[in-house]
Every structure is written in structure tokens, then in C-alpha cells.
Amino acid sequence: MQKKYDECKKFIDDLLRKTIFSNETYPINSSAVQGLLLAFKEEAFNKGIEVDYEIRSSLSKANCNSLDLNCIIGNMLQNAIEDIELENKYPKIILLKTYEKNHRVFIKVTNYGDVKGFEEHVDKIFNKGYTTKVNKIKTNEGLGLFTVQKIIEENNSIIYPLIEGDTISFVVSFPIGGE
């Protein structure tokens, strides 16, 4: 009897979680980007990681198409999740912000992490084939940030790392409408 109860409880919990995630929407102009944000939020939730989105720009003014935005945001969120998985001693929280300032559109992804270790590698992280996750996560080939940087350069934009206290952020800055 207990086994059937546990199975039913798990089914209801899973159904409730999926319903909650499917009902979330974000004021982003691209349904593809909205879908990506929902998928990463659920992936992180399943790993015990909290993901918060502070959307102050719909990204409609960013000089970048939805496919490239998904590649950029997906890589930044995946890196944050992997960093948190590798470093269990930090809060399991990721914050993604979008906003507009000084005729630019920004995407900022922040997580707590090993700031000192990050500082040791910061000058190499955009190099093709470079990874800090060797022998830690099998799928890493050191192409993510290299590819993201190429996409960003093609869109006349910039990406840079930012360390604030115990947090590591990656910030992407696009000109508004190709300015």
C-alpha cells in the first residue's frame, strides 16, 4: 500500500512541478528564448539549483536574432549550472538579468563560485579549446565561450566577466538595433 501511495505522490509532485513551469512566462519577445529560460529553470530545479530571472528588457531591441540569443544565453546558464555542480560549498543560486542602459541591451548571468580559481583562468576562458572543467564533466570541449564570443563579435557586441564579492558574472552588451 505504501509503495502505491509513494508512486501516486511522485506522479502528482511531478505533474504539479511541470504545470508550474509550463505556466511561467517571461516578457521576452522570442518564444524560443522563453522556452529556453523555462527549460533551464526546470533543469536547475531538478539539480537543486534556484534560478531567478529579472527581465527588464524584452531583448527585442538587441542587435541579435533568436537563434544566436539562445546560443548565448544557453551557454551562460549551462556554465553557471555546471560551476555550481562542481563547487558544492557555494549557494546554489543563479540570477539572469536583462536590461537596457546607455543605448545598449544587457544580459547578465551571475552565480556564486570560486572567485580565486576563476581569476586564475579569466585571461584564457574565451580561447578555443580551453576549459576549466577537464576530467570533471565529460562533455566539455572548451568551445562554449569561444563560440559565444564569435557570435557576439559578429553582432558588434561584447561579452566580459565580472567579479563582485563571491559572485561571478558574464555580461553581454548589444547595441540597440544595430547602433
Residue 121 pLDDT: 83
Q: Angle at CA 98, nearest 5°, toward 176 and 164?
A: 115
Phi, psi of 122 (to 5 degrees): -60, -30
Mean pLDDT within 155-159: 92
Grid cell digits, residue 12: 502528482
pLDDT digits (tens, 9 = 90+) for 109-142: 999 988 898 888 888 777 777 776 655 555 557 7
Dihedral (CA of 136, 138, 143, 145) sign: negative
pLDDT digits (tens, 9 = 90+) for 1-10: 777 667 756 6
Domains of the chain, start order: 26-175 (3.30.565.10)
Residue 111 pLDDT: 96
Helix (H, G, I), strand (E, B) or coil at 125: coil
Mean pLDDT within 7-19: 57
At 15, is the pLDDT very low, low, confident or very high (cuts 50, 70, 90)?
Answer: very low
pTM to 2 decimal places: 0.82
Grid cell digits, residue 58: 524584452
- Assess whether pLDDT exceeds 50 at residue 102: yes
- Assess whether pLDDT exceeds 80 at residue 27: yes
Residue 174 pLDDT: 94
Question: How far is Cα 52 from Cα 44, in angstroms, rounded to an integer?
Answer: 10
Q: Which of 6-10, 19-23, 150-154 has the lowest mean pLDDT?
A: 19-23
Work out the mean pLDDT of the chain and round it to a whole number: 84
Mean pLDDT within 60-86: 92
pLDDT digits (tens, 9 = 90+) for 35-72: 899 999 999 999 999 999 999 999 999 989 999 999 99
